[in-house]
Amino acid sequence: MTTDTFKPRAKTTEQVVGLIKAVTHDTPQAAVVLGSGVSALNDLTHAHIFPFEELFGIAPTVSGHAGSLTIGRLPENQDVIVAVMRGRFHLYEGHDWNVVTLATRSFIEWGVKELFLTNAAGGVNSSFNVGDLMVITGFRDLLSEVWQKEGLQLLKKAPQDCQNDMSNRIISAGDELHRENKEFRALQKGVYAAFTGPSYETLAEIEMVRRLKCDAVGMSTVPELLTVANSGTAAAAISVITNVWSDDQPMGGHEEVLEASKAASRRLDQLFRHLLAKKHKI
């Protein structure tokens, strides 16, 4: 008997959507995925909360990922229904691609039209500051099977463009909030490089992604962006810059990531409320 026998079995998208629809018949206009230590939209009304283990059949194992899906209405506009995933699954936890993309595929199956992704990322662009929010306008996939097979060829290509109407809307909302209140830090824009992890990048790897014209690096988000391609769901992503790599500064760890995520979460929460309430206002 192998150890695989004792591993929790993930549910199918049909089972996930079935569990949700047994509790609520409302389909959200948007879903939000919150990365490591990122907090936002904590006060949804008429909320239904599903623990990951109950909903997906498995629970997250990473600190800073609460592991729940909340479906509720935006206090600023009760017509707006939002699904908020607090945490996600990662390849470095030992999950395969199907598990890492299970939530995204379930959102597609459920009929959610917009997916907002967030993550905690290390800044490799030296002009960035800790706590910046970076709208992902392009990415490099350094974690999928395609990368494992065709890595050298992929490095010769430009980053994959993912700027769309959703990301443009986020940028516009950030500009508007910054004009109204200078304490709301202007949004950054850039290219995200996704590694498998869980180890943090070496200085040699950081130099590599800088030469590849990347601005931030992390361990998630690209699987979701690849999954929604050519589906009925559109997606855009925001990185919370939790540290900025420097040759003369020691590298931080997961605790520093969580602390920096808390500080930036307030701005992210403000951004999402402004964006969702305005977009769907009746």
**Residues 190 and 169 sit within 8 Å (Cβ to Cβ):** no
Note the pLDDT of residue 2: 44
Q: What does the pLDDT look like over 51-75, one tens digit per residue?
A: 999 999 998 887 666 799 999 999 9
CA 150 to chain centre: 25
> Which residues does the annotation mark as catalytic?
36, 65, 90, 92-93, 120, 219-220, 243, 254
Note the pLDDT of residue 60: 81
CB proximity list for 146: less than 8 A, separation 6 or greater: 154
CB proximity list for 45: less than 8 A, separation 6 or greater: 72, 73, 75, 78
CB proximity list for 176: less than 8 A, separation 6 or greater: 274
**Residues 224 and 235 sit within 8 Å (Cβ to Cβ):** yes
Note the pLDDT of residue 181: 92
Q: What does the pLDDT look like over 226-278, one tens digit per residue?
A: 999 999 999 999 999 988 876 655 555 556 666 666 778 999 999 999 999 87
CB proximity list for 196: less than 8 A, separation 6 or greater: 91, 92, 142, 143, 219
Domains detected in the chain: 3-279 (3.40.50.1580)
CB proximity list for 99: less than 8 A, separation 6 or greater: 10, 58, 89
Closest CA relative to residue 192, chosen from 170, 165, 223, 159:
159
Q: What does the alpha-carbon distance between residue 8 and residue 67 come to, in Å, rounded to a whole number?
A: 15
Q: What does the alpha-carbon distance between residue 101 and residue 79 come to, in Å, rounded to a whole number?
A: 28
pTM above 0.75, yes or no: yes
CB proximity list for 44: less than 8 A, separation 6 or greater: 70, 71, 72, 73, 74, 75, 82, 84
Q: What does the alpha-carbon distance between residue 101 and residue 103 come to, in Å, rounded to a whole number?
A: 6
Q: Which residues of the chain have pLDDT under 50?
A: 1-5, 281-282
